[in-house]
A and B are shown apart, each in its own frame.
Chain A
Amino acid sequence: MTKQPPALPEPQRGHLQSRRGFLAASTVAAGTIVSGRALADSLADVPAREPGEDLSGLSERSPFVHISRIPEAGPGQRNVDPGDAINSKAPLDKLVGSITPADLHYERSHAGVPMLDPAQHRLLIHGMTEKQLVLTMDDIRAMPSMSRTVFIECTGNGWENWHKADETLTVQNTHGLISTNEWTGVPLSFLLDLVGVDRDALWMLAEGGDGAAVARSVPLTDEVIDEAMLAYGQNGEPLRPAHGFPLRLVLPGFEGNMNIKWLRRLKFGDRPFMTRWETDRYTQLRPDGKAEQFHLHQDVNSVITSPSGMMSIRPGYNRITGLAWSGHGKVTRVEVSTDGGASWHDAQLNGPVLAKAQTRFQMDWAWNGNPSRIVSRSTDDKGNVQPDRKSFLERVGATALFHYNAQQTWRIGADGSVRNALD
């Protein structure tokens, strides 16, 4: 007989039921995602060992762990019906290290999540090429492959704080549209050679098999040719449907929507195709009414994930930790301020520090109990420094909507409460 696994979210069986009264995690302490923490204050109170659950084909998370994405709509549109959600945000406050589990990787989908049968999936490569080819997934999986750990980030990440700071936001709300996975697939350069792409073809249209048929023009710069891949794997397993199963484009450092999911067509041309997404949608309106187009790299960024919004801390030692990243290269430095940006201290970077991947940073801090404002700022190996909010808005204006990478401030009250703040 196979026993039923414990039902989530509340532990229901055996010793998982309370010994001394199960305490739900109603108060969120910094970094805590595991309920029932610190209940055993004497070793005598630690539950006795006993035989555990049956081994299983799929290992589930502990019933004590409560961690999930949050489906949301546009800025300020939270707690929406999943049918109205346009993205789902990764729980940055509850993740450790720098890799995102595949099922918690943030998602932005433009017409739902198609369930594609890989046996029926095809990739058409055509346009300015010697050969026009139709490839099956078997073809693609048989090709020489590569793996690389990179972040993918929605251009809208951070858009909650353009105009005001809602005090109830967590870092999942403010910055949850980024994740880092190891992606595995075929180097784009292999396919360029396979079909014989014309030397005059400088742009590639990549198109998805979703209901919106999302399509973006990708510039064939050396950076793209050297780094792009057609990925069929994430974190060692086939892509999840939400992330493009069976095939997606991965463009390290480029804005999320260009990493076309459910990829089914590549067409080569000598100029951009000017799809809806690169004209009307993912462009940056400037104060003068003109829009910046093809702002394709995700800029240098960072955020403190603990302590962060809606957590509470106690005076004394507190480890400040967070994530930093840049679509231009490798993070070389993260500085943390505990006085609202008046003074800065170098944080430690936890390895491995990879180009175009999220990097974990941390810093020791003794909180004296006075109201404080904690902020981080990152620098990358191209010399880009994450701007403070004021200078960011002066340069970009307030209507651009995308590519918000201003420093994030968390305000800490005398009672230890941590809240979202503009600066």
Chain B
Amino acid sequence: MHSIKTVIIAAAAAALLSDSALAFPYDFGRPATKEEMALWDIDVRPDGTGLPPGGGTVAEGKAIYADNCEGCHGEAGQGGIKDRLVGGQGTLATGHPVKTIGSFWPYATTLYDYIRRAMPYPAPGSLSDDETYALVAYLLNLNGIVPEDARLDQSNLAKIRMPNRDGFVPDPEFRTITNSR
């Protein structure tokens, strides 16, 4: 049983809430904690936002590649049963374009993001942050983008300029986003 007074207070509260976009005082879900968000917040953006601490070298990456990647992507990133990862630079405007990390990918950060979320195929998410840095270093070295003694980390990965960085032209409709919100 609610007293008349309680009902009036509830109505006043509802009226206050209706000033926001929602007409009802919905109570769906619960606040996400910082700790759990950190577990899922895996995207890495071109400016380096999202890159974790740690680092890895080309040499470390070579060993990790042999153990985790070579079975599908072949020795040194080509000749495997899955996507070729190396070479193809200069082929994009020909009748037989070869799209690889070195010839096509515009951002090195995307490589970090993709390996961390999706590779190796049988056990996505199983590589440590350091191992992921090392793999990125190795794959970029195979493509002639970083030297053999490179060590990649939070401070330098996003600064790498990929050969096809300017190779993408956004559809005019989505170049500038506006909405009525």
- Chain A interface (Cβ < 8 Å from any Cβ of B): 111, 124-126, 131-136, 139-140, 142-143, 192-194, 196-197, 199, 202-203, 205, 207, 211-213, 215, 219-222, 225, 264-265, 267, 269, 271, 273-276, 279-280, 283, 285-297, 398-399
A399 to B97, CA, bound (A): 8
* 10 further A-B pairs in the complex, CB-CB below 8 A; given A139-B28, A143-B26, A276-B118: A124-B32, A132-B32, A205-B43, A211-B124, A213-B124, A275-B43, A276-B105, A276-B113, A287-B93, A297-B173
- Chain B contact residues: over half helix, strand or loop, or mixed? loop
| Chain A residues near B40 (CB-CB < 8 A) | 124, 264-265
| Chain B residues near A287 (CB-CB < 8 A) | 93
| Chain A residues near B29 (CB-CB < 8 A) | 133-136, 139
B181 contacts A279, CB within 8 Å? Answer: no
Report if B9 contacts A (CB, 8 A). Answer: no
A283 contacts B168, CB within 8 Å? Answer: yes
| Chain A residues near B32 (CB-CB < 8 A) | 124-126, 132-134
Closest to A269 in B: B45
B37 contacts A132, CB within 8 Å? Answer: yes
A293 contacts B170, CB within 8 Å? Answer: yes
| Chain A residues near B26 (CB-CB < 8 A) | 143, 194
| Chain A residues near B110 (CB-CB < 8 A) | 274-276, 279-280
| Chain A residues near B168 (CB-CB < 8 A) | 279, 283, 290-293
A220 contacts B180, CB within 8 Å? Answer: no
Report if B8 contacts A (CB, 8 A). Answer: no
- What are some 25 contacts across the A-B interface (CB < 8 A)? A124-B36, A132-B37, A134-B32, A135-B29, A139-B28, A139-B29, A194-B22, A197-B181, A205-B43, A219-B174, A220-B177, A222-B179, A225-B180, A264-B40, A265-B40, A267-B43, A274-B110, A276-B105, A276-B114, A279-B107, A291-B167, A296-B171, A296-B173, A398-B95, A399-B95
**From residue 154 to 181 of chain B, which have CB atoms closer than 8 A to chain A?**
167-171, 173-174, 177-181
A225 to B46, CA, bound (A): 25
Closest to A265 in B: B40
Report if B76 contacts A (CB, 8 A). Answer: no
Report if B41 contacts A (CB, 8 A). Answer: yes
B177 contacts A294, CB within 8 Å? Answer: no
A126 contacts B41, CB within 8 Å? Answer: yes
Closest to A134 in B: B32
| Chain B residues near A297 (CB-CB < 8 A) | 173
- Chain B interface (Cβ < 8 Å from any Cβ of A): 20-22, 26, 28-32, 36-37, 40-43, 45-46, 92-93, 95, 97, 99, 101, 104-107, 109-110, 113-114, 117-118, 121, 124, 167-171, 173-174, 177-181
A193 contacts B177, CB within 8 Å? Answer: no
Partner of B28, one of A135, A207, A286: A135
Q: Return A120 CB to nearest CB of chain B, in Å.
A: 14
Nearest 7 pairs between A and B by C-beta? A289-B93, A289-B92, A213-B117, A193-B21, A202-B177, A135-B29, A276-B114
B117 contacts A212, CB within 8 Å? Answer: yes
Partner of B124, one of A111, A133, A196, A271: A111
A399 to B95, CA, bound (A): 7
| Chain A residues near B171 (CB-CB < 8 A) | 292-296
Closest to B83 in A: A280
Closest to A291 in B: B168
| Chain B residues near A265 (CB-CB < 8 A) | 40
B93 contacts A293, CB within 8 Å? Answer: no
B117 contacts A225, CB within 8 Å? Answer: no
| Chain A residues near B30 (CB-CB < 8 A) | 133-134
| Chain A residues near B179 (CB-CB < 8 A) | 202, 220-222, 225
A292 contacts B169, CB within 8 Å? Answer: yes
| Chain B residues near A199 (CB-CB < 8 A) | 181
Partner of A267, one of B28, B41, B92: B41
Partner of A222, one of B97, B107, B180: B180
| Chain A residues near B22 (CB-CB < 8 A) | 193-194
A134 to B180, CA, bound (A): 27
Q: Return B85 CB to nearest CB of chain A, in Å.
A: 11
From known contacts A211-B121, A213-B42, infer whether A280 and B174 are also in contact, taking CB-CB under 8 Å.
no
From known contacts A126-B32, A267-B41, infer whether A274 and B174 are also in contact, taking CB-CB under 8 Å.
no
| Chain A residues near B93 (CB-CB < 8 A) | 287-289
A215 to B42, CA, bound (A): 11
Closest to A286 in B: B169
Q: Return B117 CB to nearest CB of chain A, in Å.
A: 4
B107 contacts A111, CB within 8 Å? Answer: no
A276 to B119, CA, bound (A): 12
| Chain B residues near A275 (CB-CB < 8 A) | 43, 110, 113-114
Closest to B32 in A: A132
| Chain A residues near B107 (CB-CB < 8 A) | 274, 279
From known contacts A273-B45, A289-B93, A290-B167, infer whether A142 and B174 are also in contact, taking CB-CB under 8 Å.
no
A190 to B10, CA, bound (A): 23
| Chain A residues near B104 (CB-CB < 8 A) | 280, 291
Partner of A215, one of B43, B46, B124, B167: B43
